[in-house]
Amino acid sequence: EAGVTQSPTHLIKTRGQQATLRCSPISGHTSVYWYQQALGLGLQFLLWYDEGEERNRGNFPPRFSGRQFPNYSSELNVNALELEDSALYLCASRLTGNSYGYTFGSGTRLTVV
């Protein structure tokens, strides 16, 4: 069974640009979560998608947005990039209503210069 896959692995952007990060959940998992891990900080909850709908979002500005496609894959978009957006972005999937544990991907390392 393929795990959660994220692309790209690394992404370098300049300040003010837009970044698009992609995530494919485990087959059959309908919930996708996005977390940000900035240097020295824990995993900060960004967004939760389930069945194509945004269900909840963390304390991040509106320039962080995303969507979930009919095949349950997901995209995270970060507009007007700032230097402090440099972080590891982790995607996780979960079988809705089945368990509390998430399965994480390996993440996308975003560097804003």
* Residues at the interface with another protein (CB under 8 A): 4, 33, 35, 40-45, 48, 55-56, 90, 92, 94, 97, 99-107
Strand partners, 111: 12
Minimum distance of another protein from residue 80's CB (angstroms) = 26
At closest approach, how far in Å is the CB of 105 from another protein?
5
Using the structure block, give the residue that is written with the tokens 């972080």: 87
Give the strand pairing for 87-94 and 64-68: unpaired
Smallest separation, CB 51 to another protein (Å): 13
Q: Which residues pair with 13 in a beta bridge?
A: 112
Of 94 and 112, the one with the shorter C-beta distance to another protein is 94
Residues 3 and 79: their CA atoms lie apart, in Å, by 28
Pick 12 or 80: Cβ nearer another protein? 12
Nearer CB in complex with another protein: 45/79: 45
What three-state secondary structure class fits 99?
A: coil
